[in-house]
Structure 1
């Protein structure tokens, strides 16, 4: 049964305490590096947009944190992400290993710049 979460806080509170801390840390990394991002729930998970375009998503699972930075965010960091289980546009950070917050930060910074460049090129009619 899919739950219709009203907020990211509500979403995070549904997890065990240890996982809540990790999810909140991921959230704070995103907010710190994309302070203009709009936070919402999309596809049943925390989602962030800048300039009206998807930035990143994340989700908690029993054994991992899913992180979704669209295919470009993952292809740009393919070497760094190669040690993690991946799908197209997704990566799994196991809960029994240290979460690479530094890498999440770098991906968010990259995606902010990418969305900003797309916005600027639209404004210039490119």
Structure 2
């Protein structure tokens, strides 16, 4: 198992780090077989050789990347109070993604990977 996520998180302090750690913790609970690695230059959890999820600190926000525009679009109903782009969701330590949203996103991405790798 790689250490890309652990190494990345060690560069972040305070509330931002706790918010990022929370995302990875929830993702690991849903997909315990995911491994640490990198995808598109970001520390990420990798599942079946594909990027499952990454979350990083940007200049003005924290961003969640489920590596799928379809997954973001399919979860807009639980992301109404968050800024989204085609492939990312923006949040902050003060305004974190609800557990239900994270669970739905990670579950949808896992299902998408499973469907493509059968």
Q: TM-score when scaled to structure 1?
A: 0.79
Q: CA separation in 1, counterparts of 2:48 and 2:18?
A: 28
Kept in 1, the 8 Å contact 2:5–2:45? The answer is no
What's the CA shift string for 1:88-108, capped at 9, x where partnerless?
111101222243232111110
How many correspondences in the alignment? 115
Which ranges of structure 2 fall in alignment gaps of 5 or more residues?
A: none
1:25-104 to structure 2, matched below 5 A, reads 25-69=22-66, 70-104=68-102
Please tell me the root mean square deviation across aligned C-alpha atoms, in Å: 1.8
Q: TM-score when scaled to structure 2?
A: 0.83
SS at match of 2:117: helix
Q: CA separation in 2, counterparts of 1:52 and 1:43?
A: 13
SS at match of 1:59: strand
Question: Runs (4+) of structure 1 moved beyond 6 Å?
Answer: none
Q: CA separation in 2, counterparts of 1:55 and 1:44?
A: 14
Aligned to 1:9: 6
Q: CA separation in 2, counterparts of 1:7 and 1:53?
A: 15
Which ranges of structure 1 fall in alignment gaps of 5 or more residues?
A: 1-5, 121-126
Deviation at 1:42, TM superposition (A): 3.2
Structure showing greater Rg: 1
